[in-house]
Amino acid sequence: MKRIDLEFDLVVIGGGTGGPMAAVKAKEQNPQLKVLLIDKAHVKRSGAISMGMDGLNNAVIPGHATPEQYVKEITIANDGIVDQEAVMAYAANSFDMIQELDRWGVKFEKDETGDYAVRKVHHLGSYVLPMPEGHHMKKILYRQLKRARVEITNRVVVTRLLTGASGEVVGVMGFDCRTADFYVIRCKAAVICTGAAGRIGLPASGYLMGTYENPTNCGDGHAMAFHAGADLANLECFQINPLIKDYNGPACAYVTGPFGGFTANSKGERFIECDYWSGQMMMEFYNELEGGNGPVFLKLDHLAEETIGEIEHILHTNERPSRGRFHEKRGNDYRKQMIEMHISEIGFCSGHSASGIWTNARGETSVPGLYAAGDCASVPHNYMLGAFVYGRLCGQSAAAYCADTAKGRVDDGAIAAEQARIRAPLERSDGLTPFQIEYKTRRLVNDYLQPPKITRKYEIGLRRFDEVREDAEAMVATNPHELMRAMEAHSILDCAEMAARASLFRTESRWGLYHYNVDHPDRDDANWFCHTLLSKDAEGRMQMRKKDVEPYLVAIDEEERNAYQRLRVARSAEAA
């Protein structure tokens, strides 16, 4: 285990979607800046979009939607708990980013005259822009990285940030997952773009890596931000997604919806009342799944052959190309039968939900010199395009910060401690395997943390996590690859505990299924119309506090705000 020391101005952690954009934009702003993009996989095919993406879910394109309308919809979808300035920073930059990606060679669907072929999924604005050839995305990003002369280091797992005397970022540490070499990289600023925490829960199949998210995205960024003293926001607002049963890939309502496909119950009927992709929608999904009308299906069998052919082309070549292979083995045919769906394991992912490392409209976290973009940061419902927009904002903010900042002193004690922590599993010849620790943690998450949330179960869960933490001190790794899994297991444990503590703190129910608390089943705006922040206290433990919702830029009138409530009432009246 060699030690390798490097020096850069800016280190971008994670080379999936937001990371490459942050690195390129920082270099564009200041070509003199020394920028390193570091990834635990290979940037060529890393992150949530390793095989591309089939479309934009939240394109704000003039003539089809306005930034104000978008901000309003996201505010309502998140039950009011949003920093509208941060959502607006996305919406106002959305179209410009689409045009830049278009110039870079990303292909968006256009009609026969060259106008963007925007589709409508929600009832108010139209935000969906398909990308039938979206599988080139990573290649295009890599070309831009080369053009901007960003340095790239692959297969290095970043584990911790180094902070200076005033808590500011002064470096990052990690190790090579093939050689176990220990890396100490001094820098002035860092951008975390590590994606979702998608390995907290266990998928229904029981296969450890059969997760909804790319399993590399296991919450490393959330954990390192916590240990560096950053605030994390609204972690009780879990991500739970509708997906194809067992396959665990998205059911792609955004792709099939504009073609006429929909989510149906066992009678083949539409049942979702909610207009927005939100916890409320997932609650309706969950109720149907568990109720007498379940299971739930993706219904396409009423569509024309030509339409199904087009859907198959998009779904089976982009994002999750193994989908066709899965269906084939099962004998599934979109033309002949509905496809069984299920809900995913829990996770943290602001791409579809609203939790993550707290950031403002400039991508700044609460730690000086630390920025975050994409699924790991707190700006809600950002999807892929939001990762790009915030990648750009973070790159620009970080470049400006670097210009005014000198390199800070690194703490040799902290470096030695981290090196010892990383080395420990390799030095043991006996103990528990990373697989065992991870499996048990995630199984406990399913047992005790999967909504509906019950206080007593959460308390038991926390006790059990403590036990696993003690066991994790005996983890053994026989090679650098297993060492990577061992370090990931620590991140997963951290995220599991964060999920539990944040959920226990908010003693109300909000965001539909994402935070449905059986002991506090009602929404309590008087006490809980606020963000929650999780951070590290003086003893290194997790502490919770409230944060006021920032003043709205776009007013939400009573009628709109109550749209959900009315739907819920209508539904229960029907049931009665």
Partner 1 sequence: MTIISTSIAERLVSEDAEVRRLAVIDLPYSDEDDIVPLVLPRLADSDANVRTEAVRALEGFEEPQVVAALAPMLLDTDPGVREAAGLVLAEMKLSESAGPLLALLTEAEAEVRMLAFRALRALRVAEVFAPAMAALSDPDPGVRREAVGVLGYLRRSEAIGHLAEVAAHDPDPDVRRIAVGALGYTTEISVLPALTRALGDSAWMVRDEAAQTIGKLRMGPAIPDLVRAMQDEYWQVRVKAARSLGLLKAAAGLPALVEALAHPIGNLRKEAAIALGEVADPRAIPALEKALDDADPDVRKLSRLALTAIGLAQK
Partner 2 sequence: MSIATTLTQVPVVVDEGKCIAEKGCTVCVDVCPLDVLAIDMLTKKAFMKFDECWYCLPCETDCPTGAVHVSIPYLLR
One character per residue 174-193, x = contact with partner 2 (rule: CB under 8 A): ---xx---------------
Choose, by CB under 8 A, the member of 210, 229, 294, 368 that binds partner 2.
Answer: 210
Measured CA to CA in angstroms, residue 8 lies from 5, 223, 390 at distances of 10, 23, 22
| List of E strands, 114-258 | 129-130, 151-153, 156-163, 169-176, 182-186, 189-192, 232-233, 242-244
- Between CA 353 and CA 37 the distance in angstroms is 26
The nearest distance, CB 260 to partner 1, in angstroms, is 5
192 and 376 Cβ atoms separated by less than 8 Å: yes
- Between CA 433 and CA 474 the distance in angstroms is 9
Choose, by CB under 8 A, the member of 205, 507, 527, 543 that binds partner 2.
Answer: 205
- According to DSSP, the residues that pair with 130 across neighbouring strands are 55
- Between CA 350 and CA 219 the distance in angstroms is 12
Applying CB under 8 A, does 396 fall inside the site for partner 2?
no
Applying CB under 8 A, does 132 fall inside the site for partner 2?
no
223 binds, among partner 2, partner 1, none (CB under 5 to 8 A by kind): none
Nearer CB in complex with partner 1: 206/260: 260
- According to DSSP, the residues that pair with 475 across neighbouring strands are 432
The nearest distance, CB 550 to partner 2, in angstroms, is 36
Contacts 24+ apart (CB under 8 A), 537-544: 542/226, 542/497, 542/498, 542/501, 544/501, 544/502, 544/505
Nearer CB in complex with partner 2: 149/207: 207
Kindly list the residues in this chain that would bind partner 1 in the complex (CB under 8 A).
44, 103-105, 111-115, 123, 136, 139-140, 142-143, 146, 149, 178, 260, 262, 269-273, 275, 302-304, 306-307, 567
| Segment interacting with partner 2 (CB under 8 A) among 42-50, 126-134, 365-373, 495-503 | 42-50
Which residue in 368, 366, 361 sits closest to 389, CA to CA?
A: 361
Nearer CB in complex with partner 1: 65/533: 65
The nearest distance, CB 478 to partner 2, in angstroms, is 8
Q: Which two tokens stand for residue 179?
A: 């050689």
Q: Which two tokens stand for residue 420?
A: 């010892």
Please, how many CA atoms are within 13 Å of residue 373, restricted to the half-sphere of its CB?
34
Chain residues 226-285 in contact with partner 2, contact rule CB under 8 A: 246-248
The nearest distance, CB 121 to partner 1, in angstroms, is 11
327 and 341 Cβ atoms separated by less than 8 Å: no
Choose, by CB under 8 A, the member of 19, 20, 47, 258 that binds partner 2.
Answer: 47
| Segment interacting with partner 2 (CB under 8 A) among 21-29, 114-122, 323-331, 345-353 | 323-331
Applying CB under 8 A, does 207 fall inside the site for partner 2?
yes
- Between CA 271 and CA 418 the distance in angstroms is 51
Nearer CB in complex with partner 1: 104/326: 104
Q: Which residues of 9-40 are buried (b: 16+ CB within 10 A; e: fewer)?
A: bbbbbbbbbbbbbbbbbbbbbbeebbbbbbbb
Radius of gyration of the chain (CA): 23
| Segment interacting with partner 2 (CB under 8 A) among 4-12, 78-86, 324-332, 343-351 | 324-332
| Segment interacting with partner 2 (CB under 8 A) among 21-29, 145-153, 326-334, 564-572 | 326-334
What is the size of the binding site for partner 2 (CB under 8 A)?
A: 41
139 binds, among partner 2, partner 1, none (CB under 5 to 8 A by kind): partner 1
Which residue in 255, 273, 271, 275 sits closest to 263, CA to CA?
A: 271
Nearer CB in complex with partner 1: 281/410: 281
Nearer CB in complex with partner 1: 219/279: 279
Applying CB under 8 A, does 45 fall inside the site for partner 2?
yes
ω before 452 within 30° of 0 (cis)?
Answer: yes
The nearest distance, CB 292 to partner 1, in angstroms, is 16
- Between CA 275 and CA 567 the distance in angstroms is 10
Which residue in 264, 1, 41 sits closest to 152, CA to CA?
A: 41
Which residue in 160, 155, 194, 154 sits closest to 174, CA to CA?
A: 160
Q: Which two tokens stand for residue 525?
A: 């705006």
Q: If you search the block for the tokens 């009678």, which residue do you land on? A: 267
Q: Which two tokens stand for residue 465?
A: 């996590």
| Helical spans, DSSP H, in 6-124 | 18-29, 67-77, 84-104
Q: Which two tokens stand for residue 42?
A: 């290979």
Applying CB under 8 A, does 146 fall inside the site for partner 2?
no
The nearest distance, CB 42 to partner 1, in angstroms, is 8
Chain residues 216-235 in contact with partner 2, contact rule CB under 8 A: 216
433 binds, among partner 2, partner 1, none (CB under 5 to 8 A by kind): partner 2
One character per residue 428-447, x = contact with partner 2 (rule: CB under 8 A): -xx--x--------------
The nearest distance, CB 224 to partner 2, in angstroms, is 19
The nearest distance, CB 303 to partner 1, in angstroms, is 8
Binding footprint of partner 2 on the chain (CB under 8 A): 40-42, 44-47, 50-51, 154-155, 177-178, 205-211, 214-216, 246-248, 320-322, 325-326, 329-330, 429-430, 433, 476, 478, 481, 484-485
